[in-house]
Amino acid sequence: MAKKEKYSPMMEKYLELKKDYQDAFVFYRLGDFYEMFFDDAIKGSKLLNLALTGKNAGVKERVPMCGIPHHAVEGYVETLVKQGYKVAIVEQLEDPKKAKGIVKRGVVQVVTPGTLMDFHANEISNHFIGALGIFEFNYTLAYADLSTGEFFVLNMPKNEHGLKTRIEALGFKEIVMEEAYDIEHVMVSEFKDYKVKDHYAKLFEHISDLKQIRVASLLLNYLIETQKRDLDHMQEVVEVKDDEYVTMDGYTKKALELVQGAAGEKYGSLLWLLDHTNSAMGGRLLKQWIEQPLLNKERIEERLDNVEVFVENFIDRETIKDMIKDIYDLEKLATRIAFGNVNPRDLKWIAASLKVIPSLKNNLLSLNHPQLTALANQLVDLSNITHTIDQAIVNDPPIHLNEGGIIKDGYSSELDELRDIRKNGRSWLAKFEEKERERTGIRGLKVGYNRVFGYYIEITKSFLPQVKEEFGYTRKQSLTNAERFVTPELKEMEDKILSAQDRIVALEHEIFVQIRNYIKDYVHKIQDVAKVVAHVDVYTTLASVASKNNYVRPHFNDEHKLHIVDGRHPVVEEVIKHQNYIANSCEMDKNHEILLITGPNMGGKSTYMRQVSLAVIMSQIGSFIPAKEASLPIFDQIFTRIGASDDLISGQSTFMVEMLEANNALRYATENSLIIFDEIGRGTATFDGMALAQGIIEYIANHTHALTLFSTHYHELTYMSEDLGIRNVHASADVSGDTIRFLYKITSGPSAESYGINVAKLAHLPDEVISRAQVILQSLEDNNIEKTLTTTKPIYVEKESEVEKVLKQLDPMALSPLDALSTLIELKKML
């Protein structure tokens, strides 16, 4: 019987570890490289563009292998994880020099799409990982950002559309669940441990719902399991109540360009316009506010009050903004402390940031405003941390711990003593070299050092004949042009100097860890300070933007009334700031809930609807808005359908996407919602589209009663009865001969025409096409349809032809077969 082949002990250990991480790439540390083996290597080499090699592992066939230098591992991990994979990092858990046999190794971290931490400077996006619980009557969703420690939980109605909207809004790349469940475009990780660990019980102090505790604990335990360490930086779990924020789905946020412009970049978005924050914490908070406008009027007014204080106090505002510029990303630095991967430079950044806090507090108190005073009083004194860091860490420390030179002279007497040995050792070596030259008479003698051979006496070959036995030199190394020697005296000093250097590095590392652990006890206080800084940063930023752009404070009413005088689109105004922006007002109320907007393409209809939407969103995040004055209701949801876009991935046409989005609005909107529909129905045949558009308008008017802006090219819709609460307005244009000039002014009443052919002329279509189109248009207008009104809607009636008149007068039952044939011949002639 053939003997079964056995892998080498190292490969057996790898295979044992891999069993527990079948769903991950295993990066296995061997010396200065992380290696992948077997299928991981084959697939990883393609994904990461690495050379695929092989390794002898005790069996006949070489094992597929590819490797990554240890110093470059972060980039490769990030590449894999951003493509939707998990990576398990295996490290050496003991010093190879002290190991007996195979070096002990183990998984020290599993990096997943939801746990990939971004410590890049000025990163203003949160990276949330979620956990989902599906219960009989509701969904429970927990989510956290591992890099900042933020932690939230909420209950939701058991509605798949609402769940999908929330997942899109939070940008999950990974969701943890007790049982596998298919969620589109998101990695689902199955995990079973939901028991609250005693060490983390304090995080759930303000959560009483057992389902919320279960799902949040499931997420926390998954994070602990993947990160393989304590997560003492995680903040107390905050319950998010669904009735606290405006509901907007992904289509709406994209259409209104809230955080991304048309090209998918920040430029051109509302975030781009408003984000002049001076800290990463403030940038992240502002982005959260834009994506989650408030519903609670009292909270909105509190934010507006704070913004107004800074609008009115320019000098204090600018002073505080300058202070915040000197504050680093304390939230993420606090996480690095808790994770144990903080470096000496990070500590100096923490100290520099915390030094600003007392002055910031005093400036806030000097404004003598109750809410800002309350914020200021949350800025606790952390001078003990700055004092410790300043005492211990040199002013310009290296980034890496193993380089030494981190701790100041005078902080540790033991370290000072070792440094003295090292320093005196150098002077001793210089004196030793001089002494040996004098003793031997060899002028070419010099003392050197390298890592392999230590300290040595080097003598070039031309001086070698002068070396005598009584010098006591022992040959250590031969070179092409020289020989290297040692003496007992040099060897003894080498031991002292080298052991001092090694002990210095080890002791500096030990002291650094002590300081890090000391600061670790204050992680949550640092996070609290960071939150206050973030809020002050956002208030001063919104005040600066308001002052610079002449925005006004919005007011709110309970009368279902939207009143904006001379409103402007804030982003368009900024982009064309060297031109005069044409302002437009908007009036809607209980008697006119639907604004039907007509006018030419490029005439400003879509811009007008967006500017109204953005005014609503800016108001409800607590920002001033671009207008002369404004009074608005509090909107609970915003639905939009602006622009045409096929959903090619799921095989849906523009028209299908349009209908799905319209359906969302019609099904879920309330009378307190805002609906923005841009040319609904244009994706199908004219009469189909017109009929659907009219049906949608009637449904909103009769059932939903949401304030609705509806633009259309179906001019026939403008004849709908005002009994439905419709007000006609149009984007005006000046037509002179063959030319058209857009006025970008929204004016009362319907548009006279759509100016399609005029716009086609601007696009320089061939003259023959334009001429033929004019003939066809005239024919259609003269012969096709005429408009007649009833009290509720337009009816389309074709003009009666001569053939129809004859047919109406005929009685088929009175005709003989011959008469019928004769009549048919006459009708044919008439046609």
Binding residues: 599-606
Annotated binding site for ATP: 599-606
Would you state the structure tokens that stand for residue 312, as one six-digit string?
A: 């009115």
- Round to whole Å and give the CA distance between 154 and 166: 11
- Round to whole Å and give the CA distance between 784 and 25: 68
* Three-class DSSP category at 522: coil
Q: H or E element: which one contains 154?
A: strand 151-157
Torsion sign (Cα): 356, 358, 363, 369: positive
Q: Any bridge partners for residue 632, and if so which? A: 556
Q: Would you say 347 and 393 are in contact if contact means Cβ atoms under 8 Å apart? A: yes
Q: Would you say 701 and 680 are in contact if contact means Cβ atoms under 8 Å apart? A: no
- Round to whole Å and give the CA distance between 330 and 354: 9
* Three-class DSSP category at 234: coil
Neighbours of 462 (CB within 10 A): 10
Going through 451-556 in order, the beta strands assigned E by DSSP cover: 454-460, 474-478, 482-486, 555-556
What residues contact 246, with CB distance under 8 A and at least 6 apart?
Answer: 292, 293, 294, 295, 617, 620, 635, 636, 637, 638
Beta strand pairing call for 726-736 and 739-748? antiparallel
Q: Would you say 269 and 574 are in contact if contact means Cβ atoms under 8 Å apart? A: no
Q: H or E element: which one contains 366?
A: helix 344-366
- Round to whole Å and give the CA distance between 283 and 372: 19
Burial 120-153 (b: 16+ CB within 10 A, else e): eeebbebbbbbbbbeeeeebbbbbbbbbbbbbbb
In this structure, what DSSP letter does residue 408 have?
Answer: P
Nearest to 387 by CA among 529, 514, 519, 510: 519
How many angstroms from the chain centroid is the CA of residue 36?
Answer: 31
Going through 225-301 in order, the beta strands assigned E by DSSP cover: 238-239
What residues contact 650, with CB distance under 8 A and at least 6 apart?
Answer: none
Q: Would you say 324 and 278 are in contact if contact means Cβ atoms under 8 Å apart? A: yes
- Round to whole Å and give the CA distance between 344 and 367: 36
Would you state the structure tokens that stand for residue 360, as one six-digit string?
A: 């910031």
Let me know how long the chain is: 831
Q: Would you say 741 and 734 are in contact if contact means Cβ atoms under 8 Å apart? A: yes
- Round to whole Å and give the CA distance between 36 and 556: 61
In this structure, what DSSP letter does residue 749 have?
Answer: S
What does the DSSP assignment read for 89-126?
A: EEEE-S-TTT-SSSPPEEEEEEE-TTT-----TT----
- Round to whole Å and give the CA distance between 675 and 513: 57
- The end-to-end CA distance of the chain, in Å, is 97
Q: What's phi and psi for 36, nearest 5 deg? A: -115, 145
Would you state the structure tokens that stand for residue 158, as one six-digit string?
A: 């058991």
* Three-class DSSP category at 484: strand
